[in-house]
Amino acid sequence: MFNKSIIILAAGQGTRMKSTLPKVLHKISGKPMLYYSIKEALKLSDDVTVVLYHQFEKVKAEMEKYFSNINFVIQDHENYPGTGGAVMGIVPKYEKVLVLNGDMPLIQASELEKFDIDATIVMSVLQLQSADGYGRVIIENGNVKKIVEQKDATEEELKITTANAGIYQFCSKFLLENLPKLNNDNAQKEYYITDLVEMAINEGKVLKPLVVNEENFKGVNSKVELSDAEVIHQNRLKKEFLKAGVIMRLPDTIYIEEGVEIEGESIIENGVSILGNSKIINSHIKTNSVIESSIVKDSDVGPMARIRPDSKIVSTHIGNFVETKKAILNGVKAGHLSYLGDCEIDEGTNIGCGTITCNYDGVNKHKTIIGKNVFVGSDTQFVAPVTIEDDVLIGAGATVTSDIKKGELYITRAKAKTIDGYFYRHFESKKK
């Protein structure tokens, strides 16, 4: 099945990001950039090595949340800095080895498959209108003859619009034989992987260019480029959902993270955010609602509702300004302005406006359990842990501090009384 090893370079600090966070951990659609490089690499190889250096423990720990079948190598940056130094000491499992960058979150396995060309080196190139800022690639008779950095290019070479995209496939034998020959005799005192190209040319090896799509091979080196890449990735995600039959109102205003699933006859309105590992099935998510790592099935949510993590909403109406957290709701109506956290509520139950499950005692969280066909009056507080059995009526303004048995009416309001003319007496006394 697999025929190549893959090395992903992720050692850099990324100073242009102007952040203490390692560059490859900056997120696109909810996942670190490096996640996408690894994800696509694993579609093509079972021998994937990630090269780390800057804050390597942090990067390694983050990636291990998602992947268990990759190798990590710490670059000897002190002695062998640079892209060439990064691949030293790695012994590929296969005869071909593909070298990727960890800051290319838009890369796709289908594009990487195109590197399967019979050559000592296959290098990715971009055909640009302007190659300003890129190293130039000189191609003759379909073979790479030279690469030159912009600062070193002649006037004629600067006119070339074929640029180096920074992804290479090597014959493993050539790579291992020539890596020890690299030197750092340059202004940066670094070992460059591009020098291997020059060695191969000098040895008369076959070097083939592969013209690639600029969008897929877009590197991210700044917050501006991060934002641009996320827009592209978002459009890709939403396009797939649209093709699968999901209705999206003003899709440019909708934010959906990597890992979200949307199935069936679902409608997503403008301004909605769907985050984490949420799953939406045959449901209507209305304007400006947020769904976080929850399941919503056969339900409508919003507008302006928030479904927080670990909620499961089934055959339920969640209205405006309702917030849930770790809530299991089955066949429930919660029309507006309520907080339902750490609770289980069964079918036929109506949650009145302003209802709160008081789940936190300052130290621990507690659960509220509400059965079937319960009518909860407006402005009710459930002081958990409490269990409300089926067929219960709870009067508006109640504070529920104990369990309620099936069929009971629960009221905590004090008996009302009126005092005639009190308003006038009260304010007259203030004037004296």
Known catalytic residues are 336
Please state whether beta strands 368-370 and 350-351 pair in parallel, antiparallel, or not at all (unpaired): unpaired
Q: Answer for the pair 331, 315: CB distance below 8 angstroms, yes or no.
A: yes
Helices (H), 132-222: 155-158, 172-178, 194-202
Buried (b) or exposed (e) across 415-428, using 16+ Cβ within 10 A?
Answer: eeeeeeeeeeeeee
Helix axes 33-42, 56-63, angle to 10 degrees: 50
For 280-288, the CB contacts below 8 A with 24+ separation are: 283/313
Task: Give which of 114, 116, 124, 108 is closest to 40, Cα–Cα.
Answer: 108
Helices (H), 94-211: 109-112, 155-158, 172-178, 194-202
Instruction: For Cα atoms 47, 49, 51, give the angle at the middle one, nearest 5 degrees.
Output: 170
Strand-pairing partners, residue 1, are none
Q: Answer for the pair 314, 331: CB distance below 8 angstroms, yes or no.
A: yes
DSSP H/E element including 73: strand 71-74
